[in-house]
Amino acid sequence: MKKTKTKSSLRVGLVVPHIFMHREILPHVIFAPAKLALDLAEGLQDLDSTEVTLFTPGPVDTSVRTITADLSYFETELQGRSDTYLDLLKKHPFTFVTLARQVQGELLAKAFAMANRDELDIVHIYTNEEDLALPFAQLCTKPVVFTHHDPFNFLIKYKNVFPKYASHNWISMSLAQQATMPAGTNWVGTIYHGLPDGLYTPNYAPQGTYVAYLGRIIQPKGVHLAIAAVKAYNAAHDDKLTLKIAGKHYAGHKKDTYWQEHVLPELNDPAIEYVGFIDSVEGKQEFLGNARVLLTPSLFEEPFGMVLIESLACGTPVIGLASGAIPEIVQHGKTGIIVPKQQDEQALAKDLASAIPEALQLDRHACRSDFEARFTAARMCREHLAVYRKLTE
């Protein structure tokens, strides 16, 4: 039975303006904020005291009330070119981004107008196009709060403008992410991401003899270090391990030669295997659940790292570099091993290799327990609601 909301229900407008929020696009891209946004909207909606309106560019699969943008002009342009959304993105990225930002501007205007008509109590701008909303938030008569999904200083279009609006209401996804904004930024909460409790099942008796890498296959993610670490481990131990690499590579992109130069040649080694891009929960369950360890040798200052909590949910310990939020998520000596970063990548690979035996001995039950205590979607939703309540008091 659908529950009845009370007159005192908090009316939340959750705005996810990224053009990938469209059921025609989402299955074909890597975009973790989409699932987080849907889980947040649905989890908030399930709370007794919350009414949620979700704003997305296109239709998405959810039971939450959704308001979308007018995509008719965008789609007319696509039809004239005989392109899909992703075709246009690949062929003419500037044109795609220009049209996408027009759609995003319309969506933000709808949300702010609803708030000014007293149809919403708070507006939460969620995902990577919130820079478009920053200068207009002052025109909204209700509180506006922002979440960003990268380091704030990662791209010039962000780091050039975000410090101007440090006094806005900001939610960070980690303390490490906060370090990429100026001192004095108005942080109203730090809320770790979460996953539905039953999405993954812990595997306490993995069948694999491999360590896993899961993510984008790009230089900042350190896949070459994972390869070197497993090769170094095998050179020093009788119990040989395989490294299974899952993710998208970008061999077709002119400027990205990482796959061709640093990964593809290594696949001649039987201990190094590429298993392709895994885009389903079932596939990740099998891959992560049967892995002995997840390797995350990220050189990039991770603002969070969804694969880390996916691994913990499966009961699989993590070996990670001390990059960004990884030490916040992985508890050294309990749910994984944190390896200090250093400039010498050869020495770094050896340190990662040396961490493998210790990680293999960690209690997989502790990994799952830590996930249940700190990284569920239910906890994520409760903490967001607490921030909303504080801002609307």
pLDDT at 354 over 90: yes
Give residue-wise pLDDT tens across range 217-272. 999 999 999 999 999 999 999 999 999 999 989 887 767 799 999 999 999 999 99
Angle formed at CA 259 by CA 340 and CA 328, multiple of 5 degrees: 25
* DSSP character string of 98-139: HHHHHHHHHHHHHHHHHHHTTS-SEEEEESTTGGGTGGGGGG
| Domain identity same for 244 and 295 | yes
Pairing of strands 122-126, 10-15: parallel
Q: What is the pLDDT of residues 32-86, one digit of tens each?
A: 999 999 999 999 999 988 999 999 999 999 999 999 999 999 999 999 999 999 9
Report the alpha-carbon distance of residue 76 to residue 73 in Å, rounded.
Answer: 5
Q: How does DSSP classify residue 6?
A: P
For residues 170 and 136, state if they share a domain: yes
Find the CATH number of the domain harbouring 176. Answer: 3.40.50.2000
Nearest-angstrom CA–CA distance, 267 and 252: 18
* pTM for the full predicted model: 0.93
HSE-up of residue 275 (Cα within 13 Å, Cβ side): 19
Mean pLDDT in residue range 362-381: 98
Q: What is the pLDDT of residue 245?
A: 98
Is 4 part of a structural domain of the chain? no
Give the domain extent around 128. 10-194+376-392
Examine the domain organization and report whether 108 and 179 are in the same domain.
yes
* Domain identity same for 294 and 354: yes
> What are the C-alpha distances in Å from 370 to residues 214, 310, 331, 362, 364?
20, 12, 9, 13, 10
Give 126-155 pLDDT, tens digit per residue.
Answer: 997 889 999 999 999 999 999 999 999 988
Instruction: Establish if 203 belongs to a structural domain.
Output: no
* Structural domain includes residue 190: yes
3-class DSSP state of 329: helix
Please report, rounded to a whole number, the percentage of residues in the chain having pLDDT higher than 70. 97
Is 201 contained in some domain? no
For residue 4, what pLDDT band results from cuts at 50, 70 and 90?
low
**Residue 157's pLDDT band (cuts 50, 70, 90):** confident
For residue 312, CA distances in Å to 44, 55, 336 come to 24, 31, 9
Residues 276 and 244 in one domain: yes
pLDDT band at 1 (very low <50, low <70, confident <90, very high): very low
Secondary structure of residue 147 in the 3-state scheme:
strand
Count the domains in the chain. Answer: 2
For the chain, give the mean pLDDT. 94
Q: Is 5 within a domain?
A: no
Residues 188 and 235 in one domain: no
